[in-house]
Structure 1
Amino acid sequence: MTTVSKISTHFLYPSHLFVGSQHTEVTTVLGSCISVCLYDTVRKIGAINHFMLPFWNGQGLASVKYGNIATEKLIKEMLRHNCRVENIIAKVFGGANQVEFTARIGDRNAEVAHDILKEHGIRVVAKSVGGKVGRKIIFDTESGVVKMRYVGSQKKTP
């Protein structure tokens, strides 16, 4: 008799994170937002966030809407699940600059994610950031595999 494991699904909204100790496929759609996918290669646990802005300015609630808060909290959640930093790998997606203006939120979001991962000694093994179009990703928390496709269209300028 063959046992088939049931795969749960979860849609990750902006300003949220998800840690999966059970087999879950987490889907999210990114524009200028970033998702950091963390995966413990030994414990087979994955975690993902979806943040909108690079830094919390110290006013109001320090939420996972902000990259510095979201990425630190994601790492802490992995450690809370008995993961070890040396076993964690990262994949980073999003950060499109879809609107032409000087703030370049997508670039800044990608930078904060990379800086915090580097600070914690977490190796980035895959990334797809920047550009002008969004991305849809599906993250498998049991295998660490991320499927990605571009969404939207690139407008050609005359």
Structure 2
Amino acid sequence: MTTISEKQTHGAKTYIAQGEYAISSEEGAVISTILGSCVATCLWDPVAKLGGMNHFLLPKGPPSRADVSSFGANAMELLINALIRAGAVRERLRAKVFGGAEMYKGLTNAGNQNGLFVLSYLEREGIPCDGQSLGGTQARRVEFVPALGKARQKLVEDSHIVETVPAPEKSHDLELF
């Protein structure tokens, strides 16, 4: 079953974006994403050889949007519930977390908040975190092999912290985006 926020992998590479997650037990499956201040959580059940990854934007959103999968608590619950439906046992879940970079100095601390949120959530839920790469000033490309619980990251070389946000140029032109 595939929806806008859930992707089922079938032995190939699956890319997930903000608000999405994917699960698989296929031996050759790889789930990947690119993160800046967002966080991705890789969860797997080592006995069932089943795992998945989510990608969330912020720890929490406005109350009117509590069901949106790009917010931390909802993203975590969606991933955990999908894994359990597919045969994982909650008490055996293990985690690795990535992201939470400070991409724009002084503009926001969303990356730090995301990192603190995910570690706190895992601790509260009793899910051991076996590895983490949080913070810093560079984006990351993360690949996760869900059947084996193996993850790797590569820092994205051309994305460094922006010290200041440039002031908009004065113009009478109208820009639509």
**TM-score where L is the length of structure 2:** 0.79
Structure 2 runs not aligned, ≥5 long: 1-9, 164-177
**1:10 and 2:35 aligned:** no
SS of corresponding position for 2:140: strand
Segment drifting more, 29-38 vs 14-23: 14-23
2:48 alignment partner, one of 43, 49, 65:
43
Give the aligned partner of residue 91 of structure 2: 86
Structure 1 runs not aligned, ≥5 long: 1-5
**Aligned residues: CA RMSD:** 1.9
Residue 113 of structure 1: CA displacement?
Answer: 1.1
Give the aligned partner of residue 118 of structure 1: 123
Mapped to 2, the partners of 1:135 and 1:155 lie a distance apart of 13
Contact 2:36-2:140 within 8 A present in 1 as well: yes
Amino acid of the residue matched to residue 13 of structure 1? Answer: A
| Moved beyond 4 Å, runs of 4+ | none
Task: Provide Cα deviations, 1:41-81, integer angstroms capped at 9, x if missing partner.
Answer: 10000110001111022113611110111012211222222
In the superposition, relative to structure 1, how do residues 102 and 78 fare at CA in structure 2: closer, same or farther (>3 Å)? same
**1:57 and 2:49 aligned:** no
Identity of aligned residues (%): 29
Give the aligned partner of residue 34 of structure 2: 29
Task: Provide Cα deviations, 1:114-153, integer angstroms capped at 9, x if missing partner.
Answer: 1211111100000000011110011111111111111134
SS of corresponding position for 1:32: coil
SS of corresponding position for 1:59: helix
Give the aligned partner of residue 155 of structure 2: 150
State the structure with more CA Rg. Answer: 2
